[in-house]
Copies of this chain bind each other. A is one copy, B any other.
Amino acid sequence: MADAVRFGDFAVGQRFRSASLIVTADEIKAFARQFDPQPFHLDDAAAEAGPFKGLAASGWHTAALTMRLLVEGGMPIAGGIVGAGIDELRWHRPVRPGDTLYVESEVVEVIPSANRPGQGRVRVASRTCLADGTLVQSLIATLVVRG
């Protein structure tokens, strides 16, 4: 894992890249059973006839896997990754069983706290991609970064 970055060391344009993981059909269905129990995330046959023309991960599963990749070294922030909010979360194409995902992130804004020197917020654009670079999800996160 990369060295953790403190607020004062963030700068616009910095880039980070995560490790990668493989999404399985069992994981897609297990997430869906708990959080998004719709036929096209749960059952192969129903998914063929559904809007994604085959089994696809819940968008919230892709978002949660993105967070895991960021926490496990993809966004090394001292004190951890604490989000205040997310803008422009977009799902560009379905995530399928067997897909490999990684996340590349770029710092787009650094906002010092008005009353806490050395702390503030950092806005980061994160792109979740397949192994060949195809974009599957994008978002902009506003992170609270302590000193």
Contact = CB atoms under 8 A, between A and B. Distances in A.
Given A68-B35, A68-B37, A90 B80 contact: no
Contacts of A40: 80
Q: Interface of chain A, helix or strand or loop or mixed?
A: mixed
A53 B127 CA distance: 31
A36 B64 contact: yes
Given A67-B58, A67-B60, A51 B35 contact: no
A72 B34 contact: no
Given A35-B67, A60-B60, A67-B35, A85 B90 contact: yes
Interface of A: 31, 34-40, 50-51, 58-60, 63-65, 67-68, 71-72, 79-91, 144, 146
